[in-house]
């Protein structure tokens, strides 16, 4: 039987709520730390879907305000890029902004 704890928070990497809560309880209390220890947000969408949810779980569990936990910047590239696109120089500095 599955319960809420087995729910996937990060669908790309199939990381469950249980795994995320466990990481928080071990002292990993930033989105970046949780991501690195659980792989949540490391998949194809690079956390665009789950980063905010993870921030909310951290805020709830640690009692810190959500604004303090929300990630401030996204890593480049902000979306998947074909290798070919880069080779052809379609890819330019504007994408970094």
State the helix-helix crossing angle for 31-38 and 51-62, rounded to 10 degrees. 110
Taking the complex as a whole, how short is the minimal distance between the CB of residue 91 and other proteins, in angstroms? 7
Going from the C-alpha of 39 to that of each of 18, 35, 96, the distances in angstroms are 13, 5, 23
Residue 1 binds other proteins (CB under 8 A) = no
Taking the complex as a whole, how short is the minimal distance between the CB of residue 51 and other proteins, in angstroms? 14
Query: Can the peptide bond before residue 70 be classed as cis, meaning omega within 30 degrees of 0?
Result: no
Q: Which residues bind other proteins (CB under 8 A)?
A: 13, 26-28, 30, 32-33, 36-37, 39, 42-44, 46, 75-77, 80-84, 86-87, 89, 91-93, 96
């Amino acid at each position: 039987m599955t319960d809420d704890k087995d729910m996937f928070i990060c669908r790309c990497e199939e990381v469950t709520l249980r795994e995320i809560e466990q990481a928080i309880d071990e002292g990993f209390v930033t989105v970046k730390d949780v991501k690195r220890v659980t792989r949540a947000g490391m998949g194809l969408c690079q956390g665009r879907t789950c980063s905010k949810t993870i921030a909310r779980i951290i805020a709830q569990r640690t009692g810190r305000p959500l604004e303090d936990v929300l990630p401030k910047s996204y890593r480049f590239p902000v979306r998947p890029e074909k290798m070919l696109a880069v080779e052809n120089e379609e890819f330019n500095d504007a994408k970094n902004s």
